[in-house]
Amino acid sequence: MLEIGRTIVSLDILEKKFLCDLLKCKGACCVEGDSGAPVTQEEVKAIQEAYPEIAPHLTESHREEIRKQGFSVIDLDGDLVTPLVNNKQCVYTYTENEILKCGIEKAFLEGKITFRKPVSCHLFPIRITEYKRFDAVNYQQIDICKPGRQCGKAEKLPLYVFLREPLIRKYGIDWYEQLAYAAENYSEEK
């Protein structure tokens, strides 16, 4: 484990190689799991405000679920998460060339909104557990991401480098530079 500011970072984040391979996984992270993606109140507000630009990217059945459930729900663990369609697929997804993609991110990439997507989605497969005195920053190694591990290994791309942008989004550039410095020195020691 590595301590940076008020975070405790798993060494897996420095050691593991990763690069999403959407052509193989087909966006399975938007379907797998027992609840939706974790969101903050601020993110829910951003989604709600941007929804007129997001909605055209969603199917009518997904828009209907949002009308029924709202922009977020509380899951069985008491966490605020994105709603699901049929208790399986995130309501903010759409399918393009047999790959699940994020309607929020599509609106962002088109320049229509300034909110990219929930940071928990942007950081995946890194998961953050927030405690009173620190955040635990861990790598969640799951079967659906096997293609990402293989691709990352082939490209020799460390997980923390692949997720540079969302890590900076979450913790800032100074934090990320400390992480990169630690990773470079950790690699030299091995």
- Residues 113 and 62 placed together within one structural domain of the fold: yes
- The per-residue pLDDT for range 19-54, each reduced to its tens digit, is 999 899 898 888 887 889 999 999 999 999 999 999
- Residues 152 and 73 placed together within one structural domain of the fold: no
Q: How far is CA 92 from CA 7, 137, 186, in A?
A: 30, 25, 39
Helix, coil or strand: residue 146: helix
**Mean pLDDT of all residues in the chain?**
94
- Structure-block tokens of residue 133: 């005195």
Q: How far is CA 14 from CA 18, 97, 185, in A?
A: 11, 33, 10
Selection from 127, 46, 55 nearest residue 92 by Cα? 55
Burial (Cβ within 10 Å: 0-12, 13-18, ≥19) of residue 5: middle
User: Measured in Å, how far apart are the chain's first and last C-alpha atoms?
Assistant: 15
Q: Which residue has the tokens 């484990």?
A: 1
Selection from 180, 160, 164, 154 nearest residue 21 by Cα? 154
Of the three residues 117, 135, 154, the one that is the final residue of a domain is 117
Q: What confidence tier does 189 reach under pLDDT thresholds 50, 70, 90?
A: low
Backbone angles phi, psi at 90, to 5 degrees: -55, 135
The tally of domains found in the chain comes to 2
pLDDT at site 32:
82
- The per-residue pLDDT for range 49-80, each reduced to its tens digit, is 999 999 999 999 999 999 999 999 999 999 99
- The per-residue pLDDT for range 104-161, each reduced to its tens digit, is 999 999 999 999 999 999 999 999 999 999 999 999 998 989 999 999 999 999 999 9
Helix, coil or strand: residue 24: helix
> What's the CA gap between 142 and 28, in Å, rounded?
11
Residue 131: domain span: 1-18+125-190
Q: Report cis status (omega within 30 of 0) of the bond before 125.
A: yes
- Residues 108 and 158 placed together within one structural domain of the fold: no
- Residues 90 and 172 placed together within one structural domain of the fold: no
Q: What percentage of the chain reaches a pLDDT higher than 70?
A: 98
- Residues 30 and 112 placed together within one structural domain of the fold: yes
pLDDT at site 33:
76
pLDDT at site 40:
95
Q: Count CB neighbours of 139 within 10 A.
A: 21
- What pTM was estimated for this model as a whole? 0.89
pLDDT at site 16:
95
- Residues 88 and 170 placed together within one structural domain of the fold: no
- Residues 145 and 82 placed together within one structural domain of the fold: no
Q: What confidence tier does 103 reach under pLDDT thresholds 50, 70, 90?
A: very high
- Residues 35 and 107 placed together within one structural domain of the fold: yes
